[in-house]
Amino acid sequence: APPQKFYTGDFSTSPVVVGDPLAKQAPFAGNKIPASRLDPAAQKILGLLPVPNSIGSYDNSTGLSANNYVNQVVTQPYNNDLNARVDHNLSSANRLFARFTHYSSFTPAAPIISGVFNTGNGDSRGSDYQAVLGLTSSVTPTLILELRGSVVRDTVFQNGPSLGFNQTTSLGIQRAPFDAAPSIAITGFNTFGSQGNTWVDQANNIFQYAGSLSWVHGKHVVKAGAQFRRAQYNFFNAAANFAGLY
């Protein structure tokens, strides 16, 4: 994070001379940018950034301290599993089974920096469902029929840390492309704000049907079958700078 004086345009402690772009890069008096020349949106952005909370490593050539912000976070992820199976003998020649499996997970976010300009991911939730139904039938003592059908649904949702943030009302940025914190890139500093791969919405379905017929003849077993599988993949992943780059 930059020194707090920089937030108000005071670069008097910096060895880097700040030039006035409206005066052919002539240095500002005292290396201080007048308050009237500070961009309102930039001031609001700086007001939402955390201030340094650690000494860090000072660089004499730039007047900046690196690694001067530490954010310690405790998270509590969890996983839940459920498995159930039922076997039923319909008759001496027919056996039916059903199985249901459910898995869910929650991975809370560990913010890199606090606030809406966090560059990390948001909370992530995953959920999986699987249902299987199978039938084994002895058509004759030497002919066995097996039928099976299953469905699997897999969902993942990762919430961007600043979704819903209104740039127009909060920062004064007009014609914002999306309601989320923009990505801010300043030379000499790490980029902060919304990043790619931080907002994910995924839902996949797999349907599978299989059947086989086995014939026992003496010391030999002949088996033939078929399988049909249908997969549906629905995936949304916001690209980098989806909320704008400044």
pLDDT at position 240 is 67
Distance CA 138, CA 94 (A): 6
pLDDT in tens, 125-156: 999 999 999 999 999 999 999 999 999 999 99
pLDDT at position 62 is 73
- pLDDT-based confidence at residue 2 (cuts at 50, 70, 90): confident
Nearest to 79 by CA among 59, 52, 42, 107: 107
pLDDT in tens, 6-62: 888 998 888 889 999 999 999 999 999 999 999 988 889 888 888 888 887 877 777
Distance CA 78, CA 95 (A): 37
Distance CA 232, CA 206 (A): 6
Work out the angle at residue 175's Cα, subtended by the Cα atoms of residues 169 and 178, and round it to the nearest 5 degrees: 80
Pairing of strands 64-66, 57-59: antiparallel
Query: What is the average pLDDT score of the chain?
Result: 89
* Coil, strand or helix at 36: helix
Distance CA 93, CA 128 (A): 34
pLDDT in tens, 208-221: 999 999 999 989 99
pLDDT in tens, 55-100: 878 777 777 777 788 888 888 999 999 999 999 999 999 999 999 9
